[in-house]
Amino acid sequence: MTSHRINLCWGCLVTVYGLIHIFLLPHAWGNQSISDTGIFSYLTLTLLILSLFLVLKSTRIPLEFKYKFYLFSLAYVLLIYVLREADFHRLFTDEHVTKGKFYTNQDISLQQKILGGIPMALFFISVFYLLATQAKLVWSHFFARSPWAIALFLWGLTFIASQLTDKSDLNDVYFGRVIEEMLEFCASGYVLLAVTQSISSIRNLSISKN
């Protein structure tokens, strides 16, 4: 099976399961499985952690410093992504550090805001750095129909859709919560696909081959 078909099949597979989950599975089990401690939260985390591991592993390839810096920046972005999905912030605050109201809430101490703000500032710096240096490359590979760029594009669509669903009235009903959880799960799968499909391109940058 080609990489393009894998990208398509992944989205179709999650969509079909989502419909089965909504219309065929018992709601009692369905609600538990999409909760913060449900199986799909763990599956989403597993896919993201595996993606992070593969990016870190790829830094062992003999590369020029600038390429390794790109990879470490990407690894940091993925790390924050993992911590966000794992609700790591709950260890020290009830409010999510990625939300603006965390920093405007007067009930949250300055120390907590600094503790949450420093890694988030580094996260946004890393994201802007990657956008500034890699956006043109991703764009050109997307139009060249490179599988990893297609997977990255599909991640963006599913991730944005999951966030919009989470903030809409759909989050108040069962099928809406299933859709939101399936979108998050699907997005994590596209992260893994984008990483695995780009490994060969990273290896082609190896210094030993120059």
Report if residue 196 sits inside a domain.
yes
Report if residue 28 sits inside a domain.
no
Report if residue 25 sits inside a domain.
no
Question: For the chain, which residues score pLDDT lower than 50?
Answer: 209-210
pLDDT score for 2? 79
Look up the domain containing 169 and give its range: 3-20+35-205
Report if residue 137 sits inside a domain.
yes
Classify residue 97 by its DSSP letter.
Answer: T
Report if residue 85 sits inside a domain.
yes
Helix (H, G, I), strand (E, B) or coil at 170: helix
Report if residue 102 sits inside a domain.
yes
Q: CB atoms < 10 A from the CB of 29, how many?
A: 12
pLDDT score for 57? 96
CB 18 within 8 Å of CB 10: no
Structure tokens at 131: 């956008």
pLDDT score for 165? 94
Record the pTM. 0.92
Report if residue 8 sits inside a domain.
yes
User: What confidence tens digit (pLDDT) does each residue in 53-67 have?
Assistant: 999 999 999 999 999
Total domains, the chain? 1
pLDDT score for 152? 97
Report if residue 29 sits inside a domain.
no
pLDDT score for 210? 43
